[in-house]
Amino acid sequence: MSQEIEAIKAKLNIVDLIGEYVRLQKAGNNWKACCPFHNEKTPSFSVSEDKQVWHCFGCGKGGDAFGFLMEIEGLSFREALENLAQKTGVELPKYSARENITNLEKNKIEDILEEATLFYEKQLWETEGGKKILEYLKGRGLEESTVRDFRLGYAPDGWRNIAQFLVGRNYKIGDILRAGLVIHKEGKSQEIENFYDRFRNRIMFPITNPVGKVIGYSARIVPGEDESQAKYINTPETEVYHKSNVLYGIDKAKMSAKEKDWILLVEGQMDVIATNQAGIKNTVAVSGTALTLEQLSIIKRYTKNIRMFFDMDEAGQKAAKRSAQLAFDRELNVFIVSIDEGKDAADAVKEDVQKFIKAIDGSVVAMNYFIEKTLRGRNKSDIEDKKKIIEELSGLINSFSNKIEREHWMREVAERLNISESALREAQFELYQSKQ
């Protein structure tokens, strides 16, 4: 393996690789930048073109090209090796028989999904059915360049469009099944007639991993068609698609999130796309699930600050609270963006970009937001109201895994309610007991 590592290093210039992630400036023999791994205002991150290494004098991190990629993308050594081997065209020997098969298979699925995405894009731009969808997307305020950027597509109506296209490209139907693109009729043999397309007559939103490879789709029903069907259907769990760690838009958001040191979390893919078009690139959405710990650890690679923009309706607010609690547990800083009732991010952007950007700039510390919300319309000197307030806020306070933060909010809530901390603790304890 060391031979291949050397071959990769010989073909790769570390300055080009790191330059894809940080803005490097020439400084004497070396290159300098603000470190992507810690917060700083004056550059102490240095890259040596001669030695092909990097080092940060601020946080002490450093290494070669592999180490940089592992650190910045959160990859294992093997993943970084594969990534750079592909980039430089160096062929890697078989690792262990088993691991090799898994990697080969994984690549095959990714190839299939790439071909499928190109197919769906072509259908959107070059067919009559596609034109209708383009009009709908434009009606929602999307520009053509945005549609292309996010690689939106159209899965035409019919039972075997994608199946036949991919089989025609010499892919096996079993592999197309493993990519999640077709459904197998139960108990039937492996003939193509016994499979049918999962996505039919739908707008296709490709979902990518952090390095930009398509791993699956979220597919929206064509507006005006049989709306009794599910509005969105997603790729099922496959070898490359795991819904608990999908973050829609992460490939486009990550660098900007790192630069700005915050990320915007919205509810749906249309919200991500519209927000991107408005110039806010550091935006992601969870796709058809509640926020998970896996998603939070991906976000944490890039920033510790999350601004959440959820619908102002009850469901949206509940999701915001739940997501915030999970983030408190993971020691992330949460801010809430609030805007006039009932609007999602996509609508808000379409209506008034400046107002939307202002709302994001004016996001407030999540706990303050929840405290305000809980106190609103309640009488702090009424004993029943007071109990309800304590009950609602206790869950939030207790979700902080950091003791200092927990203490801080305990004190804050006691002050706002005009009671002592010990009285607040006692009340919490009573509530806890009454529930046992």
Chain residues in the site for Zn ion (CB under 5 A):
35, 37-38, 56, 58-59
As measured in angstroms, the least distance from the Cβ of 61 to Zn ion is 6
Q: CB-hemisphere CA count at 13 Å for 130?
A: 15
Nearest to 11 by CA among 68, 84, 62, 67: 84
- Closest contact distance (angstroms) between CB of 23 and Zn ion is 15
CB of 43 to Zn ion, least distance (A): 10
Comparison of 59 and 357: residue with beta carbon closer to Zn ion: 59
Please, which residue, 23 or 38, has the CB nearer to Zn ion? 38
For Zn ion, which is the closer residue by CB, 243 or 258?
258
Query: Taking the complex as a whole, how short is the minimal distance between the CB of residue 36 and Zn ion, in angstroms?
Result: 8
In sequence order, which residues have a C-beta less than 8 Å from that of residue 358 and are 6 or more positions away?
none
Phi and psi at residue 362, in whole multiples of 5°?
-95, 20
Q: Residue written as tokens 């009950």?
A: 391
Q: How far is the CB of 60 from Zn ion (least distance, A)?
A: 7
How far apart, in whole angstroms, are the C-alpha atoms of residue 402 and residue 110?
40
The least distance separating Zn ion from the CB of residue 66, rounded to whole angstroms, comes to 18
3-state secondary structure string across the chain: CHHHHHHHHHHCCHHHHHHCCCCCEEECCEEEECCCCCCCCCCCEEEECCCCEEEECCCCCEECHHHHHHHHHCCCHHHHHHHHHHHHCCCCCCCCHHHHHHHHHHHHHHHHHHHHHHHHHHHHHHCHHHHHHHHHHHHCCCCHHHHHHCCCEEECCCCCHHHHHHHHCCCCHHHHHHCCCEEECCCCCCCHHHEEECCCCEEEEEEECCCCCEEEEEEEECCCCCCCCCCEEECCCCCCCCHHHCCECHHHHHHHHHHHCCEEEECCHHHHHHHHHCCCCCEEECCCCCCCHHHHHHHHHHCCEEEECCCCCHHHHHHHHHHHHHHHHCCCEEEECCCCCCCCHHHHHHHCHHHHHHHHHCCEEHHHHHHHHHHCCCCCCCHHHHHHHHHHHHHHHHCCCCHHHHHHHHHHHHHHHCCCHHHHHHHHHHHHHHCC
Q: Contact, 317 vs 229, CB < 8 A?
A: no
Q: How do beta strands 263-266 and 283-285 pair?
A: parallel
Nearer to Zn ion, 59 or 134 (CB): 59
Contact between residue 207 and residue 215 where contact means Cβ atoms under 8 Å apart: yes
Give least dist CB 59 to Zn ion, A.
Answer: 3
Nearer to Zn ion, 38 or 188 (CB): 38
Question: Which of 33, 203 has the CB closer to Zn ion?
Answer: 33
Task: Kindly tell me which of 23 and 138 has the beta carbon lying closer to Zn ion.
Answer: 23
Distance in Å, CB of 370 to Zn ion, minimum: 34
**Comparison of 37 and 195: residue with beta carbon closer to Zn ion:** 37
Residue positions counted in the chain: 436
Q: Which is nearer to Zn ion, 64 or 329 (CB)?
A: 64
Nearest distance, CB of residue 324 and Zn ion, angstroms: 29
Q: Which is nearer to Zn ion, 5 or 69 (CB)?
A: 69
Q: How far is the CB of 72 from Zn ion (least distance, A)?
A: 12
Instruction: Closer to Zn ion by CB, 59 or 167: give it.
Output: 59
The least CB distance from residue 219 to Zn ion, in Å, is 42
